Structure 1
Amino acid sequence: MRKNFFIDKNFAIFGMIFISVIAFVFISSRQSYKNFPSDLDFPTIYLYMEEEDVENLYERDFLSDQRIQGFAKTSPKDKDAKKVEVRFRGDSTRYLPKKSFNVRFEEEQDFLFGSNRMNLNASYTDPSLMREKISMDMFKELGLPAPRAAYFNLYINNIYEGLYLHVERIDENLLSHFDLNGKGTLVRDTFAANLQKEEMERASLFGYDIGSIENQEALLRENFSYRGDPDWQSVIDLADWVYNTPAGEDFYIGFQERFYLEDFIDWLAIHVLIGDIDSFADDYWLYLDHEDPDAKWRVIPWDKDLTFGSTYRPQVYVDNDYFAYEYHLYRHSYRDNDMIMKFFQTPQLQEKLFSRMAYLMEEVFTLEYFQNKTASLREYIQDSLQIPPSDYAFILHGQNHHGELGRMDEHIETILDFIELRYQFIRRQMYPAGDEIHTATVDLMDARVGDVVYFTDAKGWTIGKIDIREMKKKGKVTLVAEHEEEIKGINRIWRITPENTDILGDLTLYYRNEIFDFGKQNWYEEEDAIGNQWDLIMGIYKNDKAVSLPSKINPYSNKVTATVHIKDIEELVITYPE
């Protein structure tokens, strides 16, 4: 039980001075602050509520939006405590141990980008706590309207409850920041949420026959979130046009008339690059300045935690360590949204999108970009992220995220692995190269020492890669992965076949520990995301035995790396040392 420290609500009339005195007395009696990041070196929010209110918040229906009264400070030494109202936020994530919070202040706050709303995202499904931050920053990198995001340490009744990401509320303040009319139409499709409640038949407005509904505006008001006073007829007209216009020339012309095409392509391209598995149902807002007759629709991103390899399994949900990057360019995330589907099925639009994605991968969002980004964020948040549970931390939930503590290196590496593998997959999807799977041949004639060469099959699955350290002969190399049930660990043999080649390098082999949607057999012998994979090594397979190589494994991205001399035909396995 957390110690009840705060004042009874009946004494609130004595004002902020009395509140400050009580808080000061309590703070002086505790010695926990020196153990954790403080407001002096990291943005911090201190929430104070009656202990019985905290218990009620966690014991009542998690989906309740009834707000609980409290106070907030940005430092325990602040003389002024600000009145706030607190509730949980999110949808299905409310059932996870670490809760996300919506905090409403009475007045606008500078540390909230001038808003009075604080959206504290728990990011429990993301052991790096970087995925949403990186995603939102990517949109802003291209000049697109997107919420600003800032990290905060959160204390509740002076107990440290973790690192959170505040994601700016999408409202008139955000619009104003991007020089957009705050009185325009700003709406969010929530058909998907009502589909889960069996109140709707599909997860998106776009593809719904809205023309068959008598009271169309009432339908939208009941199944959309919105700000201010939207022009509902504009939303109805857009939905009706999507429903009645097939993919092709007419859709291409009509789309350019209704959307700022270059901005939409950038918005869509980023979703494809980061592999957002829950993109196009309710994870965006639509905006139209309906007071400007020449204005077009814009799309504003929202909710980007399930990206960069995060995935889903039935009965495991999304707080897991499974890893995937082979998401189809839109089928796994379009969520009944016919606007997205018809966009991809319209050749002129698809061609523009593919051209832009190729440019972004090669010139803007390169691997180096993400290496620098993750390194910068790591330096900023690592002290907070690695705080373990104690008497003064994590009383309301166990830890910052679902994963194993102390694995920050591997969790960040997984994000970078995702970028490498996702980009190889996307290129194969954009420019098909046959049907053969689990085999790839690379020509090293133009390769140099220091290059990284990928063995990616025709469907976009990367079997392996090699970081070249020495080169004596430059020829071709074929890498094949074949099933072998007798191998313990990963039941495959990787066969390397050089052709006039003599090179030394760090070879990485990738294996499957897949999500159910892809219908591909797991290569890892257990049905566990991690299991005993930390013990796996790469070995040269001879005479039905594996000769171990010094290896490094990262089971979060399903890979093992070892230094290998590629000169003769070799068979490699990923197994347990004998």
Structure 2
Amino acid sequence: MNADKKLPVYQLFIPPVNLKDLRSDIWCNDPVPAKLTINKKKLDIDIVYRGSHIRSFRKKSYNVVFYKPNTFRNAKEIHLNGEYKDRSLLRNKLSLDFFADIGTLSPKSQFVFLNLNGKDEGIYLELESVDEYYLRKRDLPKGSIFYAVDGDANFSLMSDLDKGIKKSLEMGYQKKCGAAKDELYLQELIMQINTIPRVDFEKEIVKYVDVEKYLRWLAGVILTQNYDGFVHNYALYRNGNTGLFEIIPWDYDATWGRDVNGKVMEEDYVGIEGFNTLTARILDIRTFRVRYQSLLMEILNTQFNVKYMKPIISGMHDQIRPYVSKDPYIKDEKEKFDNEPDFILKFIKARAKYINSRLYKLD
């Protein structure tokens, strides 16, 4: 399908002294100046390694901030993901496109081929940053965006990390854009999720959360089986017009049957009801639960099935396959790369069967 569509080549030049600084401490978040050439257009950028555990991988992932010009293609920054542990290289893009397909806000992405200081670094996934430029490109109302940066973004008053009461309600989040007062809205959200009486929850929670959009997101997490997706790997967007919080997926490589280390994750690993405090409270309400059930049934019938997903997976695989032999990190694992589409399709079939067998729990 996409075999003839060539990957854009991104030529990255980091002056040797800056590259030495970057490599001297992979955990440092201070960016270094560099140059990026895309389609013969030269861009001055700041660059730094991105991610948490992925920084220790041989194939690094990067955060790129445009400096001169200060925006490029209506973006202030982009992320370049190495997808090092995903032997298919497809899972993140496949997931984010799937979320968009089922009606959830999701970042756009594209495969690119990265060259660093004249040396091939291989196939990367360019990810759109979820920020004020993301909202602007979609004509969405201005609002605040918070990244869920660790397990404390669990919508609870209790810390996942410290195993006690949170010292502050915004623990687990990092504000990407918005005013100082927006932190108060986030704090109020967490407090309300945990303190609205059960008898009032159905009519009260809709004043804070876009429940329909949350349920669509939940269906996406459950079907792709992202174990970390409930307390991590998402951004919260507070729509400035409605005042309601919406949720946006992020970093979905540990999906479609494999975990963060690329190991097999059986199709029944994550249950149909997922977890985190907000999910539990929403699914405690029969009206919401039945709506979620109907959403799952709808997506299983239309998108989450082998017939629908096979050409999408094949198209992505065919597009990047010619570049595998030039990727120094996977060129010796072509056979594994070629086996992954079938593995993903088998997972889809098995996961769909498992979800179907558990739909009765939502009655």
With the shorter chain as reference, the TM-score category is 0.7 to 0.9
1:271 aligns with 2:215: no
In structure 1, the partner of 2:190 is 239
Structure number with larger C-alpha Rg: 1
Paired residue for 2:357? 428
1:69 equivalent to 2:33? Answer: yes
Question: Is contact 1:386–1:406 with CA below 8 Å preserved after alignment?
Answer: no
The answer as to whether partners of 1:124 and 1:319 remain within 8 angstroms in 2 is: no
Equivalent-residue separation in structure 1 for 2:125 and 2:190 (angstroms): 33
Return the alpha-carbon distance in structure 1 between the equivalents of residues 77 and 184 of structure 2.
Answer: 29
Deviations for 1:199-229, whole angstroms, at most 9, x for unmatched residues?
xxxx33521169x99995xx63885333131
In structure 2, distance between residues paired with 1:54 and 1:91:
19
Higher relative contact order (CA closer than 8 Å, sequence separation 6+):
2
**TM (normalized to structure 1)?**
0.57
Pairs within 5 Å for 1:93-492: 93-106=54-67, 107-108=69-70, 110=72, 113-182=73-142, 184-192=143-151, 203-204=152-153, 206-208=155-157, 220=170, 223-230=173-180, 231-245=182-196, 248-290=198-240, 292=241, 294-311=242-259, 318-329=260-271, 334=275, 337-387=276-326, 394=328, 399-400=329-330, 404-431=333-360
Matched to 1:367, the amino acid is V
What displacement does 1:327 show? 2.0
Conserved? CA contact 2:153–2:171, under 8 Å: no
Query: What SS does the aligned partner of 1:90 have?
Result: coil
Per-residue CA deviations over 1:94-120 (Å, capped at 9, x if unaligned) read 11221100111113555xx42131200
Structure that is richer in helix per residue = 2
- Structure 1: distance between partners of 2:165 and 2:353: 45
Measure, in 2, the Cα distance between the counterparts of 1:174 and 1:275. 26
Q: Per the alignment, in what secondary structure is the counterpart of residue 170 of structure 2?
A: helix
Deviation readout 1:296-346 (Å, 9 max, x if unpaired): 2211111111110112xxxxxx33443422123367x63xx3112222333
- On the 8 A contact 2:237/2:246 being kept in 1, the answer is yes
Percent identical pairs in the alignment equals 23
Residue 262 of structure 1, CA deviation = 2.1
Question: Secondary structure at the residue paired with 1:285?
Answer: strand
Alpha-carbon distance in 2 for matches of 1:358, 1:108: 45
Report how many residues are paired.
Answer: 351
Cα RMSD, aligned residues only? 2.7
Distance in 2 of aligned mates of 1:120 and 1:138: 20
Judged with a 3 Å threshold, the aligned counterparts in structure 2 of structure 1 residues 222 and 273 are, in CA distance, closer, same or farther, namely closer
Q: What is the one-letter code of the residue matched to 2:252? A: K
Opposite residue 32 of structure 2, the aligned amino acid is: I
User: Which residue pairs with 2:21 in the alignment?
Assistant: 56
Cα distance in 2 for partners of 1:71, 1:96 equals 23
Pick one of 41, 44, 57 that aligns with 1:83.
Answer: 44
1:43 and 1:170 map into 2 onto residues whose CA distance is: 22
Q: Distance in 2 between matches of 1:122 and 1:345?
A: 39
Q: Contact (CA 8 Å) 2:135, 2:141: kept in 1 or not? A: yes
Contact 2:272/2:355 (8 A) holds in 1: no
How far apart, CA to CA, are the structure 2 residues paired with 1:295 and 1:281?
A: 22
Supply the distance in 2 between the matched residues of 1:357 and 1:375 (Cα, whole angstroms): 24
Give unmatched runs, 5+ long, in structure 2: none
Distance 1:254 1:191 in 2: 27
Map of 1:464 onto structure 2: none
The 3 A distance-change label for structure 1 pair 374 and 191 is closer
Structure 1 unaligned spans of 5+: 1-39, 193-202, 312-317, 389-393, 433-578
- TM superposition shift of 1:353: 0.7
Asked whether the equivalents of residues 254 and 262 of structure 2 are also in contact (C-alpha less than 8 Å), the reply is no
